[in-house]
């Protein structure tokens, strides 16, 4: 995953510090995801106050992760960000999910069915995301060209 991310960043020369900022951002992103999933579970089990704790922490992790991305120069102009988004979604569609699906098929783990479903549902959505970003990119490009 780190590799895909780095490809998206297209930093030819990554300093150790930027590598660490990237790792830290990924860690914060995972923490956010985890806390949101835990909040959902807490709600299901009837603990709304605990759900709120998880959601508050998730919000803070998001801020930390964004700060890391900004510090490494990851966030650029909206035009460049749209290009990055198209590239990232495309990579998930072409490389990441297909290879994960193939590996789940050949490994045949106990949770194969749920894993395959998770991969396939996400991959289908990435296609919609890619189209959405591509459309926005073309539109913005035209707007900027007209200026």
Closest distance of CB 28 from Fe ion, Å:
5
- CB-based contact 113:62 (threshold 8 Å): no
Cα 147 vs. chain centroid, distance in angstroms?
A: 32
Instruction: Provide the token pair at 36.
Output: 């949101």
Nearer CB in complex with Fe ion: 18/92: 92
Closest distance of CB 68 from Fe ion, Å:
9
Distances (CA, A) of 3 to 10, 11, 145: 10, 11, 33
Nearer CB in complex with Fe ion: 75/121: 121
Closest distance of CB 76 from Fe ion, Å:
19
Nearer CB in complex with Fe ion: 34/64: 64
Binding site for Fe ion (CB under 5 A): 28, 61, 64, 126, 129
CA distance 31 to 77: 27
Nearer CB in complex with Fe ion: 61/91: 61
Closest distance of CB 33 from Fe ion, Å:
13
Instruction: Provide the token pair at 103.
Output: 């590996």
Nearest CA-CA partner of 27 in 69, 81, 86, 73:
69
């Amino acid at each position: 995953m780190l590799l895909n991310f780095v490809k998206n960043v297209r930093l030819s020369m990554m300093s150790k510090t930027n590598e660490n900022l990237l790792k830290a951002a990924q860690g914060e992103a995972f923490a956010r995801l985890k806390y949101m999933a835990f909040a959902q579970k807490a709600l299901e089990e009837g603990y709304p106050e605990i759900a709120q704790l998880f959601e508050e922490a998730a919000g803070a992790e998001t801020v930390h992760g964004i700060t890391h991305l900004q510090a490494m120069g990851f966030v650029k102009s909206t035009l460049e960000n749209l290009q990055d988004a198209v590239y990232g979604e495309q990579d998930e569609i072409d490389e990441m999910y297909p290879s994960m699906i193939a590996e789940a098929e050949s490994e045949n783990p106990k949770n194969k069915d749920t894993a395959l479903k998770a991969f396939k549902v996400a991959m289908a959505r990435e296609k919609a995301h890619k189209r959405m970003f591509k459309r926005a990119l073309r539109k913005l490009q035209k707007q900027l060209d007209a200026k």
